[in-house]
Amino acid sequence: MTSKPLHAIRERIEATEAQHLAPQAQLAIRTRGRQKPDEECPVRTCYQKDRDRILHSTAFRNLKFKTNVFLSTSGEKFRTRLTHVLEVSQLGRTICRALGLNEDLAEATALGHDLGHTPFGHVGEHVLHRLTGGKFYHSQQSLRVVDYLEKNGKGLNLTHEVRDGILKHAKGSKTMRNFDGTGAFGKPVTLEGQVIQYADWLAYVNHDVDDAVAMGVVKINDFPQDALRLLGLRHSERVGSMVRAVIEASRDLKQVRLSPAVLEATEAVRDYLYKKVYTRPEIADVLKQSEIVVAALYEHYWKNFDEILREWPWIEPEGKEKAVADFVAWQSDYACLERYEKIRGKGPVTSHG
């Protein structure tokens, strides 16, 4: 008796998707493909392959030592950028499974959506945005990581749908109240991409509440009480309320959204975080020091570009401004601090203007 070829395993998975997922789901067999030709995996779909490429990438491992909100160097009990993307992935998979959407696509998008984030969280992003004349956005940088920076300039060659979800996960300046799925770089081409937009929101609102309370800067009862009565006092209660609200409001599979009451409560909690938590001296003062570190590194490598070329000989030398931002954004919090101390030993460094 002759055993079936291995590629029959992938084909069985693809057939199961076609049979059991919702008509609006993005099937692996209907992908728009990759930028470069790539051999099919005999046992994994294209989105499973993307997920694994991201999971085993250097940039993904770097997220372990990159700040989310509370510095990654300030204690093990706080979320890092890595734990954030894992939480986004879990929420995305739960929502997609309930709605009959493609979990593998959502997981790959979630794991890759913050690969381009800077050290020290959004503070680092704001510094590089300023120093590059408004040309740096972490979602664009995440796409650059998977397209080019990984594997010494070769990139990961991901599918169109995962790349699209990575780029378009960012909401821009829109609040949750007026969000229609169209973010800073357009609307995701798949519902799975829209799910990750919401999963990203729900994850950070919930874990930032958790971390703020753990840090002792606020108490859970300081948050808007009407919102907490609806969402729940405990982290698991709030996450459950929000996830169920997304599922309930999105069951028609026309667009991913939150039910109005939970949306209003979630936005109230988010507003409190922005007004009363992120601005507190315990957080803001430390992050201010991080701005100095990132700006100093940018200035140093701008003046000493040969040092980048020694470490990254494959980087495009004609795009100096972009390459310097690439190099600085790639660093972990720890690597930034180590490099900064070496720079300080050579003399004072001023911000690049």
Every domain of the chain and the residues it spans: 45-289
Q: Smallest Cα–Cα separation from 176: which of 242, 87, 228?
A: 242
Lowest-pLDDT range of 72-86, 95-109, 209-223, 261-275? 72-86
Euclidean distance between CA atoms 60 and 44, whole angstroms = 20
CATH topology of domain 45-289: Hypothetical protein af1432 (1.10.3210)
**Contact yes or no for 262/231 (Cβ under 8 A):** yes
Euclidean distance between CA atoms 254 and 24, whole angstroms = 8
Query: Does pLDDT of 77 surpass 80?
Result: no
167: left (phi over 0), alpha (psi -120 to 50) or beta: alpha
**Contact yes or no for 36/157 (Cβ under 8 A):** yes
Query: Does pLDDT of 351 surpass 50?
Result: no
The band of 179, judged by pLDDT with boundaries at 50, 70 and 90, is: confident
Lowest-pLDDT range of 108-112, 214-218, 247-251? 214-218
pLDDT digits (tens, 9 = 90+) for 140-152: 999 999 999 999 9
Residue that is written with structure tokens 């996450």 in the block: 239
Euclidean distance between CA atoms 329 and 339, whole angstroms = 13
Residue type, 150: E
Euclidean distance between CA atoms 321 and 336, whole angstroms = 18
Rounded to the nearest 5°, which phi and psi values hold at 136?
-110, 120
Q: What SS3 state is found at 67?
A: strand
Mean pLDDT, rounded, for 213-228: 92
Query: Does pLDDT of 73 surpass 70?
Result: no
The band of 35, judged by pLDDT with boundaries at 50, 70 and 90, is: very high
Euclidean distance between CA atoms 16 and 21, whole angstroms = 8
DSSP state, residue 221: G
Mean pLDDT of the chain: 91
Alpha-carbon 305 to chain mean position: 28
